[in-house]
Amino acid sequence: MNKTPNYFIKIEGQRIPVPSDIGSNDEQIRNTFSLHFEGIRDAKIERKTQSNGDVVVEVCKLAGPKG
């Protein structure tokens, strides 16, 4: 029997559980977390499936121009 994977967002050293409709969609991640994490709009998003089936979504903010 296949279970629905649990999704976790990993950002700025935090691991935050989220519903699958958010964790499986890059735009939903950006919309949900942009209020709390500056720079997430241009962040790199990668998903890694764990051996237990859970999905960890790593959000890596990109360095912006200094000026």
pTM for this prediction: 0.84
In residues, how long is the chain? 67
- What's the confidence (pLDDT) of residue 5? 87
**What tens digit of pLDDT does each residue of 19-65 get?**
999 999 999 999 999 999 988 989 999 999 999 999 999 999 887 66
Helix (H, G, I), strand (E, B) or coil at 31: helix
The residues near 67 (Cβ < 8 Å, ≥ 6 apart) are: none
- Helix, strand, coil in percent for the chain, rounding step 5: 20, 35, 45
- Pair 47, 56: CB distance under 8 Å: yes
